[in-house]
Structure 1
Amino acid sequence: MYSPELTERIIAKLAPNGYTLRQESETRYPLRQLSDKAEVMRVPPSPTGFVHIGTIYAGLINERIAHQSGGVFILRIEDTDKKREVTGSIEAIISAFQKFDLNYDEGPGKEGGYGPYLQSERARMYLGYAVDLLHKGRAYPCFASPDDLAMAVKYQQAKKLRPGYYGQWALWRDKSAAEITTALNDNKPFVLRFRSEGSHDKRINYTDIFKGKMEVPENDLDVPLIKSDEFHLPTYHLAHVVDDFLMGTTKVFRSDEWLPSTALHIELSQSLGLKPFNYGHFAPISIIDNNGGKRKLSKRKDPEADVQYWLQAGYPIEAVKAYLLGLANSNFEDWYRANPDKSLKEFSLSLEKLAASRAPLLDMRKLEDYAKDYIARLSQEDFYNAIIKSADGTFKAALEADPGYTHQVLAIERTGLKPRKDLSQWSQAKDQYGYFFNELFETDFQQQGRQEHLSDIDNNVERAASEAFLSFYVPDDAQAAWLEKMRAAADNQSLSLKDYARILRVKLTGKNQTPDLYAIMQVMGLERVRARLSV
Structure 2
Amino acid sequence: MTEPAFAPARTRVAPSPTGDPHVGTAYMALFDLAWARKTGGAFVLRIEDTDRARLVEGSEQQIFDSLKWLGLGYDEGPDVGGEHGPYRQSERLETYRPFVDQLLADGHAYYCWCSSERLAELRAEQQASKQSVTGYDRRCLGLTREQRAELPGFSEAPVVRMLVPDDIELDFDDIIRGRVRAPRPDDQVILKADGFPTYHLAVVVDDHLMGITTVVRGEEWISSTPKHVLLYRWLGFEMPQFAHMPLLRNENKSKISKRKNPAARLLWFREQGYLPEALRNFLQLLAYPPVVEDDGSEREVVSFEEFIEGFDWTRINTVGPIFDVKKLDWLNGLYIRNLPTDELAERIIEHQLHTGAWAEVDDATRELVRRATPLVSQRMTLLGDAAPAMAFLMSPDDDLVLDEAAVASLNDDATQVLEAGIAALEGLDDFTAEPIQAALRAALVEGLGQKPKFAFAPLRVGVSGAKVSPPLFESMEILGKDSTVARLRRLLATLGGGAG
TM-score between both structures, scaled by the size of structure 1? 0.81
Closer, same or farther in 2 for the Cα pair 1:523/1:246, shift >3 Å?
A: same
Does 277-286 or 472-481 show the bigger shift?
472-481
Name the structure 2 match of 1:205. Answer: 171
Closer, same or farther in 2 for the Cα pair 1:463/1:479, shift >3 Å?
A: closer
Give the deviation of 1:346 after TM superposition. Answer: 4.2
Give the deviation of 1:480 after TM superposition. Answer: 5.3
Name the structure 2 match of 1:65. Answer: 35
Cα distance in 2, alignment partners of residues 312 and 124 from structure 1: 39
Q: Are the counterparts in 2 of residues 388 and 399 from structure 1 also a CA contact under 8 Å?
A: no
Name the structure 1 match of 2:341. Answer: 380
Pick from 39, 46, 49 the counterpart of residue 79 of structure 1. Answer: 49
Closer, same or farther in 2 for the Cα pair 1:436/1:242, shift >3 Å?
A: same
Closer, same or farther in 2 for the Cα pair 1:512/1:45, shift >3 Å?
A: same
SS in 2 for 1:190: strand
Give the deviation of 1:298 after TM superposition. Answer: 1.0
Q: Are the counterparts in 2 of residues 408 and 523 from structure 1 also a CA contact under 8 Å?
A: yes
Q: Are the counterparts in 1 of residues 183 and 223 from structure 2 also a CA contact under 8 Å?
A: no
Name the structure 1 match of 2:401. Answer: 446
Name the structure 2 match of 1:124. Answer: 94
Give the deviation of 1:270 after TM superposition. Answer: 1.9
Output the amino acid matched with 1:228.
A
Pick from 229, 240, 243 the counterpart of residue 277 of structure 1. Answer: 240
Cα distance in 1, alignment partners of residues 360 and 139 from structure 2: 69
Cα distance in 2, alignment partners of residues 225 and 126 from structure 1: 10
Give the deviation of 1:454 after TM superposition. Answer: 2.7
Output the amino acid matched with 1:195.
L
Structure 2 residue 482 is the aligned partner of structure 1 residue 527 = yes
Output the amino acid matched with 1:454.
V
Output the amino acid matched with 1:407.
R
Pick from 320, 325, 338 the counterpart of residue 284 of structure 2. Answer: 325
Closer, same or farther in 2 for the Cα pair 1:404/1:106, shift >3 Å?
A: closer
Give the deviation of 1:254 after TM superposition. Answer: 0.5
Superposed CA deviations along residues 52-106 of structure 1, whole A, max 9, x for unmatched, are 1111111111111112211010000000101111122212211212222221111
Superposed CA deviations along residues 303-329 of structure 1, whole A, max 9, x for unmatched, are 111122112112222221222222232
Q: Are the counterparts in 1 of residues 36 and 43 from structure 2 also a CA contact under 8 Å?
A: yes
Name the structure 1 match of 2:416. Answer: 464
**What pairs with 1:387-402 in structure 2 (closer than 5 Å)?**
387-392=348-353, 400-401=363-364
Closer, same or farther in 2 for the Cα pair 1:429/1:73, shift >3 Å?
A: same
Identity %: 29
Name the structure 1 match of 2:408. Answer: 455
Q: Are the counterparts in 1 of residues 424 and 439 from structure 2 also a CA contact under 8 Å?
A: no
Q: Are the counterparts in 1 of residues 11 and 33 from structure 2 also a CA contact under 8 Å?
A: yes
Cα distance in 1, alignment partners of residues 192 and 361 from structure 2: 57
TM-score between both structures, scaled by the size of structure 2? 0.86
Cα distance in 1, alignment partners of residues 300 and 243 from structure 2: 29
**What pairs with 1:473-484 in structure 2 (closer than 5 Å)?**
473=425, 475=428, 476=430, 477=435, 479=437, 482-484=440-442
Name the structure 2 match of 1:134. Answer: 104
Does 390-399 or 146-155 show the bigger shift?
390-399
Q: Are the counterparts in 2 of residues 203 and 216 from structure 1 also a CA contact under 8 Å?
A: no
Name the structure 1 match of 2:212. Answer: 249
Name the structure 2 match of 1:89. Answer: 59
Q: Are the counterparts in 1 of residues 424 and 443 from structure 2 also a CA contact under 8 Å?
A: yes
Name the structure 2 match of 1:509. Answer: 464
Cα distance in 2, alignment partners of residues 54 and 171 from structure 1: 38
Structure 2 residue 49 is the aligned partner of structure 1 residue 49 = no
Cα distance in 2, alignment partners of residues 482 and 442 from structure 1: 23
Closer, same or farther in 2 for the Cα pair 1:198/1:285, shift >3 Å?
A: same
Superposed CA deviations along residues 246-281 of structure 1, whole A, max 9, x for unmatched, are 111111111111111111211222222334332111
Output the amino acid matched with 2:85.
G
Name the structure 2 match of 1:156. Answer: 126
Name the structure 2 match of 1:371. Answer: 332
Superposed CA deviations along residues 422-445 of structure 1, whole A, max 9, x for unmatched, are 223222221121211233x654x5
Cα distance in 2, alignment partners of residues 403 and 86 from structure 1: 37
SS in 1 for 2:254: strand
Output the amino acid matched with 2:467.
N
Aligned length: 473
Structure 2 residue 379 is the aligned partner of structure 1 residue 422 = yes
Structure 1: gaps spanning 5 or more residues: 1-34, 414-419
SS in 2 for 1:242: helix
Q: Are the counterparts in 1 of residues 175 and 314 from structure 2 also a CA contact under 8 Å?
A: no
Name the structure 2 match of 1:488. Answer: 446
Q: Are the counterparts in 2 of residues 141 and 190 from structure 1 also a CA contact under 8 Å?
A: yes
Name the structure 2 match of 1:345. Answer: 305
Name the structure 2 match of 1:437. Answer: 394
Cα distance in 1, alignment partners of residues 133 and 143 from structure 2: 21
SS in 2 for 1:472: helix
Closer, same or farther in 2 for the Cα pair 1:247/1:198, shift >3 Å?
A: farther
Output the amino acid matched with 2:73.
N
Give the deviation of 1:154 after TM superposition. Answer: 0.8
Output the amino acid matched with 1:212.
G
Name the structure 2 match of 1:173. Answer: 141
Name the structure 2 match of 1:190. Answer: 158
Closer, same or farther in 2 for the Cα pair 1:198/1:355, shift >3 Å?
A: farther
Cα distance in 2, alignment partners of residues 138 and 122 from structure 1: 22
Q: Are the counterparts in 1 of residues 281 and 303 from structure 2 also a CA contact under 8 Å?
A: no
Give the deviation of 1:215 after TM superposition. Answer: 3.0
Output the amino acid matched with 1:295.
S
Output the amino acid matched with 2:484.
V
Closer, same or farther in 2 for the Cα pair 1:359/1:46, shift >3 Å?
A: same
SS in 1 for 2:203: helix
Cα distance in 2, alignment partners of residues 410 and 132 from structure 1: 64
**What pairs with 1:215-230 in structure 2 (closer than 5 Å)?**
215-219=181-185, 221-229=186-194
